[in-house]
Chain A
Amino acid sequence: MFEAAVIKMIGMGILETLYMVFVSSAIAYLIGLPLGIILVITDKNGIHPMVAINKTLGFVVNIVRSVPFIILLITILPFTRLVVGTTYGANATVVPLIVSAAPFIARMVEASIKEVPEGVIEAAKAMGASTFQIIWKVLIPEAMPSLITGSAIAITTILGYSAMSGFVGGGGLGDIAIRYGYHRYQTDIMLVTVVILVIIVQLIQDIGLKLALKKDKRIS
């Protein structure tokens, strides 16, 4: 029902979207995971209390999280240009996606790790584990199912943000939907891209939940 060019364009859009989401999720996790762990352990009841650092980081995270993505994207355009040399296309979208998702991920990671029972951490301490060993051998593995579920949520949120960036020519499926559906009134193309987005979200969500369930040894 579509001509070859349109199909090719949608195919490219899918790849571009996956590229943006994958790269920005990976980098956002590289920042958000340690940040979340630091938020937990430096808490005044954490295993390595550092209240000043905890308060400062918490404040910065909250500020960035309260800025709506589309505003953040525009606000940091100069920074984006500085980093990737352009403000258009997939690479330019990756930058604000990371900035916006990292604090969000940090909070998700924090919540997951806080689920690890106090007593288990105490037992590890009693066995002579260092702070680093507790993080690496207790907190992360014990929180893994919850971290995986969280990552599915984080990735689908990033996918949603990436579609928004279509408004400023950010590339990917969102870009196509806005260009054809909003500017040219080609509703059919817009619908197809939306359906594809929905399918991708479903897939990520399903895979995440299945992985988490499979990993979790608490359910026998």
Chain B
Amino acid sequence: MDGREVIVKIRDLDKTYYSKYGKTHALKDINLDIYKGEIFGIIGLSGAGKSTLVRCINFLELPTKGEVIFDGLSLSSLTEKELRKARTSMGMIFQQFNLLAQRNALDNVCFPLEIAGVSRAKARERALELLELVGIADKAKSYPSQLSGGQQQRVAIARALATNPKILLCDEATSALDPNTTSSILELLRDINQKLGITIIIITHQMSVIERLCQRVAIIDKSYIAELGKVTDVFTNPQSEIAKELILSHGIKDISFTNERGRKLRIVFDGRSTYEPIISNIVLEAKAPVNILYADTRNIDGKAVGEMVIQLPEDELLSSNIIAYLKQININFMEVEENV
């Protein structure tokens, strides 16, 4: 990551809400660099401060202390007008989609362009292009009430992209969707990131979303960043209590791997399956930790090739969970006897 350009820089950020019931410290000591072009995940339990953080990035919420520097601009130094201009470079999508109910899909996408003073004809042309990009050009004349959740989120994504933003903020963008629709929206986000080079910041409470999409992740716990790093590192070797809890689910933190008698599996990646972080999937799906004894895998053109030997936990139930999962995802594997 060294030498990569930073698009959002957050320094010593605090956010405190004051109400008649007292103070709520929603965020404390937040320091974060988000790199141009990456997909960055923010995860945490409910009330951890995720939404507050993302709303501080586009200054919908003013930080109590600290700085947000977007593309070299310190947001707190901007006038109202400059801030509104800066916001057109930051797209945002929401859990509830937040489309204008009285406008059809096309006019919803036109909205940010109207705001920016783009002519009607140009706006429509661009809006159609974007609806095409998100795959629902045929629904241009439909109203939000006539669209499914996934389709509404696609319109919302098209709308967020209308002004050519540099970053896209996603607050629980898939939390209101079923698993299949979630997958297709995540695919779309990945596509947008790759095709348009837009930096994406994703907030979620679902580990699977982070795992499938993000390169780096910040785990927020009780207003602080508890852990920050590459997804692969955090998933395979969580440091903080909260990370362990989120990744390994509750309670199984102290299982010993030193046991020699644990069963070992050789997993073969023959290139048939698209690359997936198998190990973290095992951890997530089977809710069981595994030990990697040997690994020689390469990511060739998006396909995983190579082999890996893992040691299963001693617990029979956990082991069978893992084996069941491997069968389910159709991965080649065999039990090995000899020591590696």
Contacts and interface: CB of A to CB of B under 8 A. Distances in A.
Interface of A: 117, 119-120, 122-130, 133, 137-138, 141-142, 144-145, 215-220
Given A123-B92, A123-B94, A141 B100 contact: yes
The residue among B87, B101, B114, B145 with the most chain A CB atoms within 10 A of its own CB is: B101
Contacts of A125: 60, 87
Contact of B94 (A119, A142, A218): A119
A119 B90 CA distance: 17
A109 B99 CA distance: 22
A128 B99 contact: no
A126 B88 CA distance: 8
Contact of B116 (A117, A119, A128): A128
Given A120-B100, A137-B111, A137-B114, A126 B145 contact: no
Contact of A126 (B92, B96, B99, B103): B92
A127 B98 contact: no
Nearest to A123: B98
Given A126-B58, A127-B92, 15 more contacts: A119-B96, A120-B98, A120-B99, A120-B100, A122-B60, A122-B94, A126-B60, A127-B87, A128-B84, A128-B116, A128-B163, A141-B102, A215-B102, A217-B144, A220-B143
A189 B90 CA distance: 68
B142 to A, nearest CB: 9
A133 B146 CA distance: 26
Contacts of A217: 101-104, 143-145
A128 B100 contact: no
B58 to A, nearest CB: 6
- Interface size grouping (class) on chain B: 20 to 34
Contacts, number: 79
B199 to A, nearest CB: 16
A-B residue pairs, 9 tightest by C-beta: A128-B87, A123-B98, A217-B143, A128-B84, A126-B92, A119-B98, A127-B112, A128-B88, A220-B146
Contacts of B104: 217
Interface of B: 58, 60, 84-88, 90, 92, 94, 96, 98-104, 111-112, 114-116, 143-146, 156, 159-160, 163, 169
B326 to A, nearest CB: 42
A174 B215 CA distance: 75
Contact of A127 (B96, B101, B103, B111): B111
A129 B113 CA distance: 10
13 contacts: A119-B96, A120-B99, A120-B101, A123-B99, A126-B58, A128-B84, A128-B87, A142-B101, A216-B102, A217-B103, A217-B143, A218-B144, A220-B145
A122 B51 CA distance: 13
Contact of A129 (B58, B84, B143, B159): B84
Contacts of B156: 123
A10 B101 CA distance: 45
A126 B100 contact: no
A16 to B, nearest CB: 37
A216 B100 CA distance: 12
A219 B101 CA distance: 10
Contacts of B159: 127
Given A122-B60, A123-B92, A128-B116, A218 B145 contact: yes
A145 B88 CA distance: 29
A215 B143 CA distance: 12
A162 B251 CA distance: 73
Nearest to B108: A123
